[in-house]
């Protein structure tokens, strides 16, 4: 069992059980294993892999790729629908603009962070 003691003092001070945190993390890992990203699509003879951000909102999901020039965005009522729609939008964007649609450098990693303002 992984211990979270001392790692999240604010969570511990709020009285949230470390076991509950571990169960939540396990559910997230299970969910994202069943809903894989990144999206692959054909570009000539090779496949290009793009990272896609999928945001959950009260009224559905919004998805957009990283590493493309221009604006490509899609939405859906479900995670799967948003991902399918953004894949279609990416394919159309690449068909329209060719290799010029891509940023020059691939994105190595993507991080999500929070800042208070």
Residues 21 and 57 in one domain: no
Residue 65 and residue 105 in one domain: yes
Q: What per-residue confidence (pLDDT) applies to 17? A: 66
Residues 29 and 41 both lie in one domain? no
Say whether pLDDT at 20 is over 90.
Answer: no
pLDDT of residue 106: 78
59 and 101, same domain (yes or no): yes
Left if phi > 0, otherwise alpha if psi is -120 to 50, otherwise beta: which for 98? left
Residues counted in the chain: 117
Cα–chain-centroid distance for residue 13?
30
pLDDT for 62? 93
Per-residue pLDDT band at 2 (split at 50, 70, 90): very low
In a domain, 117, yes or no: no
Residues 9 and 47 in one domain: no
Give start and end residues of each alpha helix (H) in the chain. 9-13, 18-34, 79-97
So what's the pLDDT on residue 61? 94
pLDDT value at 47 more than 80? no
- Tell me if 24 is assigned to some domain: yes
Residues 16 and 56 in one domain: no
Do residues 46 and 29 both lie within one domain? no
Whole-model pTM: value is 0.58
Rounded to the nearest 5 degrees, what angle is found at the Cα of 72, between the Cα atoms of 40 and 50?
25
């Amino acid at each position: 069992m992984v211990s979270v003691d001392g790692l999240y003092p604010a969570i511990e001070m709020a009285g949230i059980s470390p076991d509950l945190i571990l169960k939540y993390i396990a559910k997230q890992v299970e969910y994202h294993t069943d809903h894989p990203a990144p999206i692959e699509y054909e570009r000539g003879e090779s496949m290009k892999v793009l990272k896609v951000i999928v945001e959950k909102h009260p009224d559905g999901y919004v998805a957009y790729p990283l590493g493309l020039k221009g604006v490509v965005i899609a939405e859906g009522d479900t995670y799967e629908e948003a991902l399918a729609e953004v894949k279609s939008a990416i394919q159309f964007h690449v068909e329209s603009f060719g290799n010029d649609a891509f940023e020059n450098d691939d994105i190595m990693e993507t991080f999500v962070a929070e800042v208070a303002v």
